[in-house]
Amino acid sequence: MSKPLILVCNDDGITAPGIRALVEVVQEFGEVMVVAPDSPQSGQGHSITLADPLRLKPVKSFDGIEAFKCSGTPADCIKIAKHFVLKGRKADLCVSGINHGSNSSINIVYSGTMGAAMEAAIEGIPSIGFSFLDYAHEADMEVCKPYVREIVKDALENGLGGSQLLNVNIPALPAAEIKGIKYCRQANGKWVETYLEKEDPYGKPYYWLTGEYVYKDAGEETDIWALENGYVSVVPSKFDLTDYEALKKRMDT
C-alpha cells in the first residue's frame, strides 16, 4: 500500500511553532504537504478571499517536505493547495494546527484553524483541527504529540467514525495530569466582548476587540467540561448547519 498523503495547514502562519510540532508527528505516517498562511490569521473563521488575488510561494521551512506559504486565509490555503499543490491527487487526511489557543465551544465558528479543516472536509477529505490551550508562542507542544499521534493513527486506520471533521483541543497541563481522550459535544458558550477605547494621533477614536468567554452550559458531556477536567476533547463536527429539530417542528405545524 502506498503511503497516505497528509495535507497540513494552520491559522497562526507557516512560522508558528504549532505547525512545526504537527508536521513532526504526521510525517511519521505518510507523505506530507504543507500549505499555510504567510501571516497570522486568527479569527478568520471560514473566510475566503474574493476581492484580491493570492500569492503562493514555496518555502524551505521543513526538512524534506514540500511546503508553501499563501497570502490568503486558512480556507484559501486548502483551496489553493488542492489546485496547485496536490494537483489532482486527493489527500487521505487533512490536519490543521496545532493552534496556539483554544478552539473549543463556540470558538469553532471564529477559528481559522477549524475553517481550514472544515474546508478540507467539504472537499471530502477527513479532517482534524488540533488546538492547545496555551496561547503562548513559546508554548511547549511536546505534551500534545502523543495525542496527535494517537488520533491521527486512528483516523488513518479507521476513518473518523462516520464524521468528516474532528475538533480536538488539548489542555495546557503537564503530560502526567492529562487523563486521556474524551469524545464530547460543543459546549454552549459565548464571548462577552469588551473594547479597548483609545484615540489615534489625530484625535479620532478607535476600538480594539477583546473579551471574556462565558460558559452557559452545565453539561458534563461538553468539550469545556472535558478540558476543565483534564481530558483531551474531541468533538465530531459538521458543516451542515441545518437545525433539524426546528425544521421538523415547522414541518409538523
Q: Which residue, 11 or 23, is less far from its own copies as judged by CB?
A: 11
> Which residues lie across from 165 on neighbouring strands?
127, 237
For residue 6, the minimal CB distance to its own copies (Å) is 21
- Beta strands at 165-170 and 231-237: parallel, antiparallel or unpaired: antiparallel
CA distances from 184 to 117, 226, 230 (A): 18, 8, 13
The answer to whether 131 and 98 have CB atoms below 8 angstroms apart is yes
Q: Report how far residue 238's alpha carbon sits from residue 253's, in angstroms, rounded to the nearest whole number.
A: 27
The answer to whether 26 and 20 have CB atoms below 8 angstroms apart is no
Q: Which residue, 219 or 230, is less far from its own copies as judged by CB?
A: 219
For residue 48, the minimal CB distance to its own copies (Å) is 5
Q: Which residue, 143 or 184, is less far from its own copies as judged by CB?
A: 184
For residue 177, the minimal CB distance to its own copies (Å) is 24
For residue 17, the minimal CB distance to its own copies (Å) is 19
The answer to whether 83 and 9 have CB atoms below 8 angstroms apart is no
Q: Which residue, 23 or 77, is less far from its own copies as judged by CB?
A: 77
